[in-house]
Chains A and B, each alone.
Chain A
Amino acid sequence: MAKNHIVKSYDHELKNLKLKILEMGTACGHQLSEAVKSLKNRDQELTEKIIAEDAKVNALQHEVEQMTINLLAMRQPLAIDLRNVVANLKIASDLERIADYAANMARHVNELNSMPLSDSINIIFDMADQALGMLNDVLGAYQELNIEQAAHVWRLDSEINRGYEELIESLRTMMTEQTGKIRGATALLFIGRSCERIGDHIKNIAEHIHYIVTGNSDIRKSI
């Protein structure tokens, strides 16, 4: 358990960095859940809002970058502080990509037009729910620096991957049997791919948490 720094303003700056990452994580979760909602409701207005609000997450990432650069230059962090600052920079990058994929999902929703719901879309809903739960859990693990919880989230990514394989199989069948649905099926494939990539980035965040705590990013050693 780390003690407080002798220089209190250093603790304050590290705490602000953590709060900024959590703010970014919450914004990403919101973007992802809105993307799922837009998919369920085929809500074009909502998709445009999601695409526009991606810029807010980008701006948060820029703030995190500036804060980490200042910490590196002004505090010359070492040991856990150095790992923390470097990992936060990487976590911000993963969160920014998660928000990008949420915006990509919204972009492809518009391509679905009025295509009726198929079984395939339910696989996507399951994957997105799984990703949202994982994102929530990984942010909790980050807040508490809980490596057991981070390892738990890391393992869950394989379920999203399995869902993606199932989705591909389902869409292949659909495209073979109903060639008129190829355009919609392709859009679903891109949306599923976005969910799968979001899972990968959440997995990366779990590894960064493990690195902060242990100095080793190979989370498999803790599983």
Chain B
Amino acid sequence: MTEPQSLKPKLKPTADGRVSRDNRQTVGDQFIDNPRMTCRDVNVYYADKQAINNVSLDIGSNEVISMIGPSGCGKSTFLRCLNRMNDTIDTCRVTGEIKMDGHNIYSNEIDVVALRAQVGIVFQKPNPFPKSIYENIAYGPRIHGLVENKTEMDEIVETSIKRAGLWEEVKDRLDQPGTGLSGGQQQRLCIARTIAVGPEVILMDEPCSALDPIATAIIEDLIDELRQHFSIAIVTHSMQQASRVSQRTAYFHLGDLIEVGPTSRIFTSPRHELTEDYITGRFG
């Protein structure tokens, strides 16, 4: 599926066929067939400062899309637009259109709490509630009214923790505090908590940056399994992680979406010089 590009300068190819650094038009496959979410001409402002410039991008079903770029490029800001987390910032203003299942998530009719159950988020630092492991998972289904009795709740708790690959490690101590788990286990607990309310999309904002390599590998393996049930958008500073876990990669630079494409192509033959500069360590 192709759609017209917004009114940005025309592509200027270099001698080797790449798009030169002074170009800010998105290169690659922003639009896909059967997307789970569609974002069109999204702009984000913090007071007068524009943080995201006219970004259009589709999030596919059952895919992991990674968002990479230097600090301050807007990748986390864009991710947080996808479940309206930016609403919590008073000076933040979002324009453009972000649709899920055909509905604009910024419409006044949208229940933001329900939206955040549909589009869950996992943060950089594991943030379990100061409650038991069981209660960490049970809290969401309870406030969203997803269960009618204890049996149903037990089933959701067990299924969610199993899907997060944590069951064998915690099944005998569900009444223990979630905060007593290791960092990697806490992050998987947070993923289980997100899964428990039945999301369609899971957003992950640098989910492994506080974890050691083994805990990171376990989360990456989990992401690969979760892809069968959910769409996943992940922000990461690790290009190796982006290349390991995602099928598509989007490169952001100073608020512009510079390039999107299959991860294997982005990391072997990027089309934009800015992408190449960044992933080869020539940025700056």
Q: Which of the residues A3, A147, A215 comes within 8 Å of B282, measured between beta carbons?
A: A3
Docked pose: A115 CA to B98 CA in angstroms: 83
Q: Are A215 and B281 in contact (CB under 8 A)?
A: no
Contacts of A80 in B (CB 8 A): 276, 280
Within 8 A of A (CB), among B230-280: 239-240, 243, 267-270, 275-277, 279-280
CA distance A7 to B279 in the complex (A): 13
Whether A83 contacts B282 by the Cβ 8 Å rule is no
Question: What secondary structure prevails in chain A residues at the interface with B?
Answer: loop
Q: What interface size band does chain B fall in? A: 10 to 19
A51 at the interface (CB under 8 A from B): no
Name the interface residues of A64-106: CB closer than 8 Å to any CB of B: 76-83
Contact B268 A6 (CB under 8 A): no
B216 CB to closest chain A CB (Å) equals 15
Query: Does A213 make an interface contact (CB < 8 A)?
Result: yes
Selected from A2, A4, A10, A79, the residue in CB contact (under 8 A) with B269 is A79
The reply to whether A7 and B281 contact each other, CB–CB distance below 8 Å, is: yes
A1, CB-defined interface residue at 8 Å:
yes
Q: Are B14 and A79 in contact (CB under 8 A)?
A: no
Given contacts A214-B17, A215-B268, contact A78 B239 (CB under 8 A): yes
Known A-B contacts A83-B269, A147-B16; the reply to A2 vs B239 at CB < 8 A is no
Would you call A220 an interface residue if the criterion is a C-beta within 8 Å of the partner chain's C-beta atoms?
Answer: no
Residue of B nearest to A211 (CB): B269
B283 at the interface (CB under 8 A from A): yes
B17 (CB) vs chain A CBs: closest residue:
A214
Is B284 an interface residue when CB atoms closer than 8 A count as contact? yes
Q: Tell me the bound Cα distance from A62 to B129 in angstroms.
A: 57
The closest CB in chain B to the CB of A215 belongs to B269
Question: Hey, which chain B residues are within 8 Å of A216, CB to CB?
Answer: 269
B277 with A83: CB separation less than 8 A: no
- Give CA–CA (A147, B17) in the complex, Å: 11
Distance between Cα atoms of A2 and B283 in the complex (Å): 10
Are B276 and A214 closer than 8 Å at their CB atoms? no
When distances are taken between beta carbons in the complex, the residues of chain B under 8 Å from A77 are 280
Please report the C-alpha to C-alpha distance between residue A179 and residue B173 in the assembled complex, in whole angstroms.
93
- Name the distance in Å between A10's Cβ and chain B's nearest Cβ: 7
In whole angstroms, how far apart are the Cα atoms of A6 and B283 in the complex? 7
Which residues 179-222 of A have a CB within 8 angstroms of B?
Answer: 213-216
Closest-by-CB residue of B relative to A222 is B17
User: Given the complex, which residues of B lie within 8 Å of A213, measured CB to CB?
Assistant: 16
A interface, CB within 8 angstroms of B: 1-7, 10, 76-83, 147, 213-216
The 6 closest A-B pairs by CB, nearest first: A215-B269, A3-B282, A78-B279, A213-B16, A79-B276, A81-B280
- B interface residues with partner A (beta carbon < 8 Å): 14, 16-17, 239-240, 243, 267-270, 275-277, 279-284
15 contacts between A and B (CB under 8 A): A2-B277, A2-B280, A2-B282, A3-B277, A5-B282, A6-B283, A7-B281, A76-B240, A78-B239, A78-B267, A79-B269, A79-B270, A79-B279, A83-B268, A213-B16
